[in-house]
Structure 1
Amino acid sequence: MGYRTILAVLDTERNVGPVADLAIGLAQQFSSHIIGIRAETLATVPLIAPMEIPDPAAIEALQKVAQEETRAIETAFRQKLDASGIAYEWRAFVSPAGTSAESVLETARTCDLIVARQNDAKHEADNSADIETFILESGRPVLLLPFALSRIAPVRRALIAWNGSREAARAAFDALPFLKHAESVEIFSVDPPDMPRQNPEFAGADLAAALSRHGVKVSLHTESNCPTPIAEAIENRLSNESVDLLVMGGYGHSRWWEMLFGGVTRSLLESMTAMTLMSR
């Protein structure tokens, strides 16, 4: 079992290197085929007063900039993949409305894993709406790479954020190719009495048993009466245990950073210290 088709989301030229390197490493591990995707949305154009007619010159200039960026991204991606010897293909889409991810969902739904990079608000436009669309609408697991991660290391230690929900269960089993190769996997629950979908006394026990039958080296850790918010408790656990991969469910709230457990703040993904696999 592995990720045989990987979709690499290449939204900016700055992200091509890190995303391509991660996809190549996974492809070497799982004998994968990589699909590189660039999905651009037609920009809002200035209007000419008083008739509010779109300015043709502005439209042409914006389209030219977008096309040049797409060509630069494609060139950088092809150079990376040609040097690696990995089987790959390139696809570019233009969406007339909505988020750019909408136009690539048909492709995304046929892949085993979607790889993207966490948004870096200091250097690039906000791509959170696109990531939200992939997580909520693709039906496939999304692996997010932290922008602050300077080196992509193999997944040796993984943590499953567990609340007994359908989304958390799907994420756990979508992550099996990683979990089976990890040296240790921890199922982490916070205040199980407040989680109606799991037995407080045996939080994660059935999941641990199921994963162990797949050969996963799994352990359980529960924090009861946790004095900190769930997001902070998870962040602390990731840091204290030197976790390489966080596995968690994606929930259908209005913004992608509010998905975990239906109410955890955006701080968890903004301060991302480990690769994060999300499923819904």
Structure 2
Amino acid sequence: MRDILVYASNHRTFTPSMRYAASLAARFGARLNAVYVQEPVTIVPSYAAMQLVAEIRRFTNEQIAEALGQREKFCAWACGLGVASNDWLVIEGGMREAMAQTGNWHDLLVLGLRGETGWSGVAEVGQVLLTCGVPCIVVPEDRMPAAAFQSIAVAWNGRAESVRAMHSALPLLRRAENVTLIHGEFVDPLAAVTRVPTPDVEAYLVQHGVKVRKRLLDTGDDEAGAALLAVAGEARADLLVMGAYGRARFSEWLFGGATRHALEHAAIPVFMRH
């Protein structure tokens, strides 16, 4: 984990998710890039005068200039937290597109959840999760969590999303003192068509230097999210690893029940990958 990207929801303060990302980067000796996105104002009434259009452009330019002026402040702040390699990026454009393109150059994206800005709600964070293409740690901004990684809970049901999330989280799992594997069941409707041997997940983790304690989870889909958070709480986990289940086609942003519940109610950061 060498390159970490964090979303800067504003250009005036350093949010809890930014502090979490800086602590994570310092632990791994990774580079930290913060990105501020200035979304353009595109909805202008057809009868709007050119003066209004010019005023919108002027306001946008001022916001971008002010954001660019924070680069030195951010770099000094990150260095003070032990992150020597860092940068401050400012992008004008759509949030989803900006994160998808910038994320291509990074191993991990850190997002704030339940904060004070428009892109910290569950639906908005979900749009980024389902389209950015990189693993994400979603940090509850109302909790001020520490990047400890002493105890990690891993939600496992054999689906592709949970496999990708667990594999991406291996650098964190290797550092944890305790790893709890929350083992659920998933019946693949395509199993009769495509028969792929399912590896032993515990053996796989041991092979990668991760020893686990297994907890079976026998609950329906409607209760899975609450049950996952309950087990993570019992294990005193400071991070929950799980797949992000959902669809991101056209204008449809739909999460599965467990994913949505975790984002709505998690008191700890959640490592997710779609």
Give TM-score, length-normalised by structure 2. 0.81
Equivalent residues of 2:78, 2:86 under 8 A apart? no
The match for 1:100 is 95
The residue correspondences of 1:124-273 to structure 2 (distance < 5 A) are 124-128=117-121, 131-190=125-184, 192=185, 195-197=186-188, 206-225=200-219, 229-254=223-248, 258-259=254-255, 262-264=256-258, 266-273=260-267
Structure 1 stretch 67-76 or stretch 3-12: which is displaced more?
A: 67-76
State the SS of the aligned residue for 2:87.
strand
Q: Does 1:90 align with 2:85?
A: no
The match for 1:81 is 75
CA RMSD in angstroms, aligned pairs only: 3.0
Unaligned runs of 5+ in 2: 190-197
Give TM-score, length-normalised by structure 1. 0.80
Aligned residues with identical type, % of pairs: 24
Determine which of 101, 112, 116 is the counterpart of 2:111: 116
Question: Separation in 1 of the partners of 2:64 and 2:150?
Answer: 35
Structure 1 stretch 181-190 or stretch 167-176: which is displaced more?
A: 181-190
Specify whether residues 15 and 242 from structure 1 end up closer, same or farther in structure 2 by C-alpha distance, changes over 3 A only.
farther
Q: Does 1:275 align with 2:269?
A: yes
Question: Separation in 1 of the partners of 2:51 and 2:149?
Answer: 49
The match for 1:201 is none
Question: Separation in 2 of the partners of 1:244 and 1:187?
Answer: 14
Question: Separation in 2 of the partners of 1:246 and 1:219?
Answer: 14
Shift of 1:12: 2.5
Matched to 1:29, the amino acid is: R
Question: Separation in 2 of the partners of 1:6 and 1:12?
Answer: 18
Shift of 1:106: 2.2
Shift of 1:228: 6.8
Question: Separation in 1 of the partners of 2:60 and 2:22?
Answer: 26
Question: Separation in 2 of the partners of 1:55 and 1:218?
Answer: 64
Question: Separation in 2 of the partners of 1:103 and 1:225?
Answer: 38
